Structure 1
Amino acid sequence: MSIFTDHPRSVGETYAEHFRAATSFGIPMITAGVACVLHGIFPFMFEKTGSNLVRRLYDRMVVNRVKMTHETTDGQQIDWCI
């Protein structure tokens, strides 16, 4: 077992699949964070950008979690740590 593959394997992914999934959450999170900081400085900018991105990421994670739960053969829910 490797420190690079233990967690991905525990959620039913290869290292590459886990990297792709984590990156697809991480980049929008960084984008939302920058938008929120800029909104704090310039309140007229990015009024809903941060909350919209967070809502989309939440919806994606919940939909994927439900999908993965139904696909598991032992009936256990996949652990979704990012």
Structure 2
Amino acid sequence: MTQILPDRDRPGSTPFDRLFRDHPREVGESYLEHFAASAGFGFRLLGLAGAAFAHALVPGVHKATVSTAIRGMARDMGGRAEEARETRMRDAGVWDVGL
């Protein structure tokens, strides 16, 4: 039986692979696709930080803007995290029943 090793333990796995290639592959994306998705989340969070500070100064503005957006982003990101987890489990030859 062949054992599937985690990427960091595979022969030929380099620090470059671990830093730039492995995770995007886990979520089924190229580096550029992953960059675009992650940068999109980052820019949205920057905008939401501004809305949160505006709400802190003037409580009557952006009353639900940040919380609503964060919940939506969490749903979006949760799906991506679940896909990455399933990919890691599959690549490791392990079936996780969610225990």
Q: Is the TM-score greater than 0.5? A: yes
Deviation at 1:66, TM superposition (A): 2.2
Q: What fraction of aligned residue pairs are identical, expressed as a percent?
A: 26
Gaps of 5+ in 1: 77-82
Matched positions, count: 74
Selected match of 1:32 from 14, 26, 48 = 48
Q: Unpaired runs of 5+ in structure 2?
A: 1-13, 95-99
Over 3 Å counting, the alpha-carbon distance change for 1:8 and 1:56 in structure 2 is farther
1:37-56 equivalence runs, <5 A = 37-56=53-72
Q: What secondary structure, in the 3-state scheme, does the structure 2 residue paired with 1:24 have?
A: helix
TM-score where L is the length of structure 2: 0.61
Counterpart amino acid of residue 56 in structure 1:
G
Find 1:10's aligned residue among 22, 27, 46. 22
User: Structure 1 CA distance, aligned partners of 2:15 and 2:56?
Assistant: 42
Ranked by relative contact order (alpha carbons within 8 Å, sequence separation 6 or more), the top structure is 2
Using the size of structure 1 for normalisation, the TM-score is 0.71
